[in-house]
Amino acid sequence: MGAEDVKLFIAGEWTEGTGDEFYKLVSPATGEHIANIPIASRADVDRAVAAAHTAQEEIKFWSPFERAEVCYRMADAIDANAEEIARIQTLEQGKPYFSESLGDVASASANLRKAAEDVKRLSGENRPSSDRNKRVFTFRRPIGVWAAITPFNFPITTPVEYIAPGFATGNTVIVKPPEFTSWALLKMAEAFVDVGLPAGTISILPGAGAVGEMLTDHPGVDAIGFTGSTATGAKILSKMGIKRSASGR
């Protein structure tokens, strides 16, 4: 069986991208060359960011219940392809199939269902007013376009920890996984097609630190989510300017 030529997921489409760099993915489980992963270029990043802004202008007006319904559809689509997603994760990352990879897929779909229910109960507050003729209240609104930079150890679970609450609350998300553990996530992205998402709501751009830096300092990215080492986190903070941030475990 030959190596598979994997494609990027940008603006709701599968594409080879505009770059000429590929990562030769060798399975730590079998030692075989199993896939060729395209590395996102600057043009790919620009396209993903532009599409994310267009999509966000639409979904920010959706009701929480509309976004929750799409989260459930994505979760169902992931569950329907769980065995194949888990198989690829085991091949590319080395986790045991039955004891870990299948559980990681289940956690990803569970996070989407959890976000769907949480957003229905996410509300603002009424606050005391010093003026008897005025009422003061707060409400929440989406931030915009998020870039999520995720690690190798939970290749599908951690990205969905950003995608699920991000989309549920009206944001769009561009995920930058490591090039050597991105195939399973790209396979999972099939769950993001034909479920009612505007093109550009979610994009997946594999690559090393250079791709992360393109997103970190991109003027069209509003916020950065990061899970990884303290050293890399400090580097991101030093480059991201006034963007908002969130970090994982």
The string of pLDDT tens digits covering residues 158-214 is: 999 999 999 999 999 999 999 999 999 999 999 999 999 999 999 999 999 999 999
Instruction: Provide the token pair at 155.
Output: 């290749």
Q: What is the pLDDT of residues 6-50, one digit of tens each?
A: 999 999 999 999 999 999 999 999 999 999 999 999 999 999 999
Domain boundaries, the chain: 4-247
Q: Which residues of 203-217 are buried (b: 16+ CB within 10 A; e: fewer)?
A: bbbbbeeebbbbbbe
How far apart, in whole angstroms, are the C-alpha atoms of residue 154 and residue 105?
10
CATH of range 4-247; options 3.40.50.10950, 3.10.20.90, 3.40.605.10, 1.20.1440.60: 3.40.605.10
